[in-house]
Amino acid sequence: MQLGLILGDQLSRALPTLAELDRHQDVLVMAEVAEEATYVGHHKQKIAFLFSAMRHFAAELRDAGWQVHYYAWGEHHCDDLEAVLADALGRTGAEAVVVTQCGEYRLQQRIDQQWSSRLACPVHCLEDSRFLGRLEDFARWASGKKQLRMEFFYRQMRRRTGLLMDGDQPVGGQWNFDASNRKAYKGEVPLPPPLTFQHDDLDAQVLALVERAFADHIGSLTAFHWGTTRSQALAALAHFIEHRLPWFGDYQDAMVTGEDGLFHSLLSPYLNAGLLDPWEVCRAAEQAWYDGAAPLNAVEGFIRQILGWREYVRGIYWLLMPDYAAENRLGNQRALPGYYWSGDTGMHCMRESLRNTLEHAYAHHIQRLMVTGNFALLLGVLPEAICRWYLEVYADAYEWVELPNTLGMVMHADGGYLGSKPYAASGSYIQRMSDYCKHCRYNVKTASEEDSCPFNSLYWHFIHRHRRQFAGNHRMRMIYRNLDRMDPARVEAILARAESLLADPEVL
């Protein structure tokens, strides 16, 4: 008899562990343990989503004929997964453990290096086949390159999978339609109807448990709208394809006060937990284009996020860990301001993005990259601090996807290995892509006054203080030419304004 461990982000009937085992004689184990739930202060909604999805998945497995030993929170005394397995091995008499590769380096190291000896039995760790590419293929592609570029990896993945391909060429004659996907939303088309789910008794039990046992964790459960079953995840996919995908491309970078989802899919929690498969999601989007239900710029942009970016950051994570987590090429050391946890700030763009985060354990990629992330970059926040925050607050956050996105893309702490330039921007970008600035007490038109937009002042301070690192970057030469054309007195005033903000960013 073998014991199969299923982790909280492996809620898939296509999991290699299930394919390896025999439901008639082997036993499955699932567990809610303190170490995984609290090693960072995960958002209440993330914990509730995973606990409830795990319990529903365990029920589905039992209905399919599996024997499942489920260790529910508060009903056992095991603090970590190793203790759970030791207990289950003793109870069942199993002779080996089977597990699929996990999504975080810290746990994978324990699986590979410690579990077999400590549990006194073989531990077989299987390759996770639920992605669109293999890690060894990514490593082969990256080998010998000083810098990686997602666009070239993405094109290789398109050719390999055949998604949106006409023979060896991309449908529509070009690989990337990103230039068509930068419109601000001004009510041109109706917003999609909201998607809500009927939550059952199991959901209610978990929500009550999380409210009670994780009361000190960030976030609120008041607006818990996530689905927690495979059928609900499929419903979310269908809703996106019908109501959001047609306009996703045009407005994927847009931000609107009070509109938290716009045309985004909100599928990443389901993908990253295993309730949806990336292949079925990409194929559904591709089919919408073939059926004439969504334009190519929207479909290509969406598929690029999954086939390109999601696979790309996973490859980088497993290629470079553990050293990657310690990267800090810009030498940033500042603490993360307290309003990242409270949302209490006078900067309207930050307040809106943080409100969305605290209320829903979600913010779309532009709120993450160009608002909360951009501000941390401009402040010079310690990468470890902002990486931990992102891991805590979002329902879709697992280290394999969060760390490269935050450390590499948001903070440019890897020296440009992941992306060719820092995603630093002034308030003018936020003004162009949102209605945020007109609701703000700060003036987005100025950079040196007392009421100037902090993004403006800090942006030019960032450019000035990192001139040595970035002046030779061909994608930033125009920025430095603009800086050099400025009146020296104006530059001095902007830098003075920025210094005053950096002296006490908590007051913003």
**Do residues 142 and 286 both lie within one domain?**
yes
Same domain, 101 and 185: no
**Residue 379: is its pLDDT beyond 90?**
yes
- Tell me the C-alpha distance between 257 and 352, whole Å: 7
Length, in residues, of the chain? 508
Three-state SS string over 259-296 comes to ECCCCCCCCHHHHHHCCCCHHHHHHHHHHHHHCCCCCH
- Phi/psi zone of residue 187: left (φ > 0), alpha (ψ -120 to 50 degrees), beta? left
pLDDT tens digits, residue range 146-205? 888 999 999 999 999 999 999 999 999 999 988 878 899 999 999 999 999 999 999 999
**237 plus 300 within the same structural domain:** yes
- Give the count of beta carbons closer than 10 Å to the beta carbon of residue 28: 23
User: How far from each other are the two terminal CA atoms of the chain, in whole angstroms?
Assistant: 60
Structural domain includes residue 273: yes
Which of 75, 94, 126 is the endpoint of a domain? 126
286 near 172, Cβ under 8 Å? no
Residue 178 is classified by DSSP as G
* pLDDT score of 471: 86
What 3 state SS string does 112-132 have? HHHHHHHHCCCEEEECCCCCC
The answer to whether the peptide bond before residue 322 is cis (omega within 30 degrees of 0) is yes
- Cβ atoms of residues 391 and 397 within 8 Å: yes
Looking at the domain assignment, is residue 90 inside a domain? yes
Confidence of residue 293 (pLDDT cuts 50, 70, 90): very high
Q: Which helix (H) or strand (E) holds 48?
A: helix 44-63
In a domain? residue 14:
yes
Q: Are 269 and 49 in contact (CB under 8 A)?
A: yes
Per-residue model confidence (pLDDT) at position 474: 87
pLDDT reading at 136 higher than 90: yes
Q: Are 446 and 456 in contact (CB under 8 A)?
A: yes
Q: Structural domain tally of the chain?
A: 3
Q: Do the domain assignments include residue 232?
A: yes
Instruction: Report d(CA 415, CA 470) in Å as an integer.
Output: 10
Same domain, 54 and 153: no
Domain boundary among 126, 146, 162: 126
Q: What is the spatial distance between Cα 153 and Cα 284, in angstroms, rounded to a whole number?
A: 22
Is residue 13 predicted with pLDDT exceeding 80?
yes
CA dihedral over 342, 340, 270, 113, signed as positive or negative = negative
**Gap between the Cα atoms of 21 and 75, Å rounded:** 26
CATH of the domain at 157: 1.25.40.80
CATH number for 425 = 1.10.579.10
Task: Output DSSP code: residue 368.
Answer: I
170 shares a domain with 92: no
- Residue 88 maps to which CATH number? 3.40.50.620
Distance between CA atoms of 99 and 127, rounded to whole angstroms?
9
Query: Do residues 19 and 107 both lie within one domain?
Result: yes
- Dihedral of CA atoms 239, 373, 434, 281 in degrees, nearest 10, equals -20
Number of H helices, E strands in the chain: 26, 7
Of 320, 348, 368, which closes a domain?
320
Q: Is 471 a domain residue?
A: yes
Q: Are 313 and 360 found together in one domain? A: no
Tell whether 436 is covered by a domain: yes
State the pLDDT at residue 4. Answer: 98
85 and 22 in a single domain? The answer is: yes
Which of helix, strand or coil describes residue 4? strand
- The whole-angstrom separation of Cα 283 and Cα 232 is 18
- The rounded mean pLDDT for the chain is 96
Strand partners, 114: none
Asked which of 136-150, 279-293, 374-388 is least confident by mean pLDDT, the reply is 136-150
Find, among 386, 369, 484, the residue nearest to 429 by Cα. 369
Q: Are residues 251 and 373 in the same domain?
A: no
Name the residue range of residue 67's domain. 2-126
Asked if residue 297 and residue 162 are part of one domain, the reply reads yes
Q: What is the pLDDT of residues 406-460, one digit of tens each?
A: 999 999 999 999 988 899 999 999 999 999 999 999 999 999 999 999 999 999 9
Q: Output b/e per residue, 355-382; b: 16+ Cβ within 10 A.
A: ebbbbbbbbbbbbbbbbbbbbbbbbbbb
Distances (CA, A) of 370 to 353, 378, 405, 433: 10, 11, 12, 10
Give me the phi and psi of 91, to 5 degrees please.
-75, -35
Confidence of residue 472 (pLDDT cuts 50, 70, 90): confident
Residues 375 and 313 occupy one common structural domain:
no
Residue 259 lies in a domain: yes
The predicted-structure confidence for 69-96, as pLDDT tens digits, reads as follows 999 999 999 999 999 999 999 999 999 9
185-191: list long-range contacts, CB under 8 Å, 24+ apart: 185/251, 185/254, 185/256, 185/259, 185/262, 189/247, 191/259, 191/262, 191/263
Q: Measured between alpha carbons, how far is residue 495 from residues 150, 227, 455, 490 in Å?
A: 34, 48, 12, 9
Q: Give pairs for 114-123: CB < 8 Å, separation 24+.
A: 114/82, 115/82, 115/85, 118/82, 118/86, 119/82, 119/85, 119/86, 119/89, 121/89, 121/94, 121/95, 121/96, 121/97, 122/95, 122/96, 122/97, 123/96, 123/97, 123/98, 123/99
> Are 50 and 146 members of one domain?
no
Calculate the CA 151 to chain-centre distance: 19
Q: pLDDT value at position 234? A: 98
Domain contains 329: no
